[in-house]
Amino acid sequence: MDLPDEKTSDERRQYFRIKNSLFMSYELYDDGTDELEQAPKEIDAKSLRSMHLLKELNSILEENENYSKKLPSLDSKTKNYLESLDTKIIEITKYLVKTLGVEYSELLEVDLSGGGIRFRSEKSEPIDQKLKLDLVLVPEYYNLTAYGTVVDCRKLEHAEEFELAISFTDIQEADRDAVIRHVFKRQSKQLRLDKQA
- Write the CA distances from 80 to 87, 93, 140, integer angstroms: 11, 20, 19
pLDDT, tens digit, for every residue of 8-24? 444 444 444 567 788 88
pLDDT in tens, 125-146: 999 999 999 888 887 778 889 9
> For residue 3, what pLDDT is reported?
35
Non-local CB neighbours of 3 within 8 Å, separated by 6+ positions? none
3-state helix, strand, coil in the chain (%, to 5): 45, 25, 30
What's this model's pTM, rounded to 2 decimal places?
0.66
Nearest to 26 by CA among 118, 97, 93: 118
| Domain at 152, CATH number | 2.40.10.220
In a domain, 4, yes or no: no
Claim to verify: residue 65 and residue 146 sit in the same structural domain? no
| Cβ contact 185:169 at 8 Å | no
- Could you give the CA distance from residue 113 to residue 16 in angstroms, rounded to a whole number? 6
User: Mean of the pLDDT values across residues 89-96?
Assistant: 81
Reported as a pLDDT band with limits 50, 70 and 90, residue 61 is confident
Distance, CA of 186 to CA of 169 (rounded, Å): 24
- Whether residues 158 and 116 share a domain: the answer is yes
Residue 8 lies in a domain: no
The helices-and-strands tally (H runs, E runs) of the chain is 4, 6
Mean pLDDT lowest for which of 94-98, 175-179, 183-187?
Answer: 94-98
| Residue 43 banded pLDDT, cuts 50, 70, 90 | low
| Statement to judge: residues 95 and 120 lie in one domain | no
